[in-house]
Structure 1
């Protein structure tokens, strides 16, 4: 099985970028399990946690979301183009 060139990079930030993003997404998804239990036992506490998380995410500036989306989509497009050209495996 062949590795991605990102995984073989000498730069530790490049090697860790994709796994780190996936770990964050896994954590967000797994957080729904204890939140479901909290909501079953203490709905008021679950609502307060949800309101706090929503307030935090809404406080982040819109350009930050745009920057993340642009970077993520740009990386994906560049990788697909490089693989289509045969420059990357």
Structure 2
């Protein structure tokens, strides 16, 4: 058995924390939208432009890596190699 890799052990929780942060960001954005709809619309356009600028192959690489990790981990648990 190899020693636990601290980077790999934190990868999945870190991803989930980022997703939680993005969801929680909707609360202050809704307050901004209530009082300054023009500012909220500009912020949404800016975020959309940022996400659109990320190349499609990078999204595919991330998805493949994440799904591959999940499948490998499930396979290891089925075989009894991982806990």
Matched, 1:44 2:38: yes
Q: Which has the higher contact order (CA 8 A, sep 6+)?
A: 1
The match for 1:53 is 47
Unaligned runs of 5+ residues in structure 2 are none
3-state DSSP class of the match of 2:28? helix
TM-score, normalising length: structure 2: 0.92
TM-score, normalising length: structure 1: 0.86
The match for 1:62 is 56
Number of equivalences: 81
More helix by share: 2
Unaligned runs of 5+ residues in structure 1 are 1-7
1:29 and 1:56 mapped to 2: Cα distance? Answer: 17
Aligned CA-pair RMSD: 1.1
Question: Where in structure 1 do 4 or more consecutive aligned residues deviate above 2 Å?
Answer: none
The match for 1:77 is 71
The match for 1:28 is 22
Q: Using the TM superposition, give the Cα deviation of residue 16 of structure 1 relative to its aligned residue in structure 2, in angstroms.
A: 1.6
